[in-house]
Every structure is written in structure tokens, then in C-alpha cells.
């Protein structure tokens, strides 16, 4: 039968966006699976896997590239045994399956009511596409990179008074390190912060 290389540890994250869904869910590990295709959605028997830790700095783009390299090597090392029939096929346990649906732009909206880990995972998961975003003063701002900030900003507010773009969340603050205003180039968050006409706004009113 035909063989497929899938970027998750099946049966977790069957479907179109396994890498992004793993990051979005806060998974600590992922990997690649070599499987025999059947009529279902990534449901065929698995004959080789490779497991790795997800670094907190990895985006969907960078992690996908890393898994692609590893997956190609795994396929090269296992394919002949598969063709010869000397490798064991392991059926997936369907009760452990999760579905990795395609990413949609509406769900890429960054929720300022969540905690920092959730927000940072969100930014990484939607990079490079479609990009995490917020509506600020009627303008859609994409957020490409962010980090924890050792300062306190009121939850649910966006503050630029310090010269940095700081977003207050439920358990602390993150700094927006790289953003992209609508129709413009990507820029450092601090550069964008210098160009706005306000110092702090509550996001419930801003969006």
C-alpha cells in the first residue's frame, strides 16, 4: 500500500494542521509517524515513529521544517523494510485520536483574557499562517513574535507608555516583539508603539 509521512505522533492530531494544533494545545512533545494509507483520515497502521520535545521558541513554520528533515531521514531508513514486509504494522487506537482541523483566520484572533502561556502558544501556532491578530483602534494588527514581560499592565489592556508594546493578560504581561499593522510591513513592536497616538487602551473597547 501507499505510505504517508505525518507530522504528529498518531493517533494524536490526525488531519490538516497537526503541528499548529500541537503548539496551540500546549503539547510538550510531538513527532513524525510513518503510516500505511487507508480510506480514513490518517487512520492507517503505523510502522515507524520519532518523538521530540517542542521548544518554547518554535513556531509552526520552524517546527514543520525540523520535522520534515527528520521525517525524510526516517522514511529513508525504514522504507525498504516496509517494502520487504519485514516491519511490523501497528494499528492506531482510535479512542486516543484527536483531530487537527485546518487553521482558520477567525480563530487566529489573540484573546487578551487568557494566560501568558496560552497567548504565547497562540502566537507561535499561527506563525507563519494566517498570523495571530488583534483589532486595535479599528485596525487589524498581526502579532508574529511575543515574550513574557517582567512588568505589570492591567489585564485586558494594551500599553505603549514605556516604549514597548505590552499586553496585559490574566496572569501577567507579554511584550509584542514583532507586529504587522494592516497593509504594512512587519516591524518591531517598539517601533510600532512609537507611532501610535495613545498610551494605553482597554482592548474590550479597542476591538
Peptide bond into 130 cis (omega under 30): yes
- For residue 158, list its beta bridge partners: 167, 201
> Alpha-carbon distance 59 to 65, whole Å?
10
- Residue 11: asked if its preceding bond is cis (omega within 30°), the reply is yes
57-76 per-position pLDDT tens digit: 999 999 999 999 999 999 99
Alpha carbon distances (Å) from 115 to 22, 106, 111, 144: 18, 20, 9, 18
Q: Which CATH superfamily is domain 106-206 in?
A: Formyl transferase, C-terminal domain (3.10.25.10)
pLDDT at residue number 157: 96
Residue 176's alpha-carbon distances to 15, 20, 113, 199, in angstroms, are: 30, 20, 16, 15
Residue 1: the pLDDT is: 83
> Tens of pLDDT along 79-129?
999 999 999 999 999 999 999 999 999 999 999 999 999 999 999 999 999
Segment (H or E) for 38: none
pLDDT of residue 206: 46
Mean pLDDT of 14-38: 98
Q: Where are the domains of the chain?
A: 3-100, 106-206
| Residue 90 cell numbers, joined | 501497528
Helices then strands (H, E): number in the chain?
5, 12
DSSP secondary structure letter of residue 175: E
Q: What is the largest CA-CA distance in the chain?
A: 68
CATH architecture of 3-100: 3-Layer(aba) Sandwich (3.40)
Q: What is the pLDDT of residue 172?
A: 98
Q: What is the mean pLDDT of residues 182-202?
A: 95
pLDDT in tens, 120-141: 999 999 999 999 999 999 999 9
* Residue 67 to residue 175: CA distance in whole angstroms: 28
Amino acid at each position: 500500500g501507499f505510505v504517508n509521512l505525518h507530522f504528529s505522533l498518531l493517533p494524536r492530531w490526525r488531519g490538516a494542521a497537526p503541528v499548529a494544533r500541537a503548539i496551540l494545545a500546549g503539547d510538550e512533545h510531538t513527532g513524525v509517524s510513518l503510516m500505511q494509507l487507508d480510506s480514513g483520515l490518517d487512520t492507517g497502521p503505523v510502522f515507524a515513529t520519532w518523538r521530540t520535545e517542542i521548544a518554547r521558541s518554535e513556531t509552526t513554520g520552524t517546527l514543520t521544517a525540523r520535522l520534515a528533515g527528520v521525517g525524510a531521514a526516517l522514511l529513508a531508513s525504514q522504507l525498504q523494510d516496509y517494502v520487504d514486509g519485514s516491519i511490523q504494522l501497528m494499528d492506531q487506537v482510535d479512542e486516543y485520536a484527536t483531530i487537527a482541523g485546518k487553521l482558520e483566520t477567525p480563530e487566529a484572533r489573540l484573546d487578551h483574557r487568557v494566560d501568558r502561556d496560552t497567548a504565547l502558544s497562540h502566537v507561535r501556532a499561527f506563525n507563519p499562517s494566517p498570523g495571530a491578530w488583534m483589532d486595535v483602534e479599528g485596525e487589524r494588527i498581526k502579532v508574529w513574535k511575543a515574550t513574557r514581560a517582567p512588568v505589570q499592565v492591567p489585564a485586558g489592556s494594551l500599553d505603549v507608555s514605556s516604549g514597548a508594546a505590552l499586553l496585559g493578560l490574566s496572569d501577567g504581561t507579554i511584550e509584542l516583539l514583532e507586529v504587522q499593522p494592516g497593509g504594512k510591513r512587519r516591524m518591531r513592536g517598539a517601533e510600532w508603539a512609537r507611532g501610535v497616538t495613545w498610551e494605553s487602551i482597554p482592548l474590550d473597547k479597542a476591538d
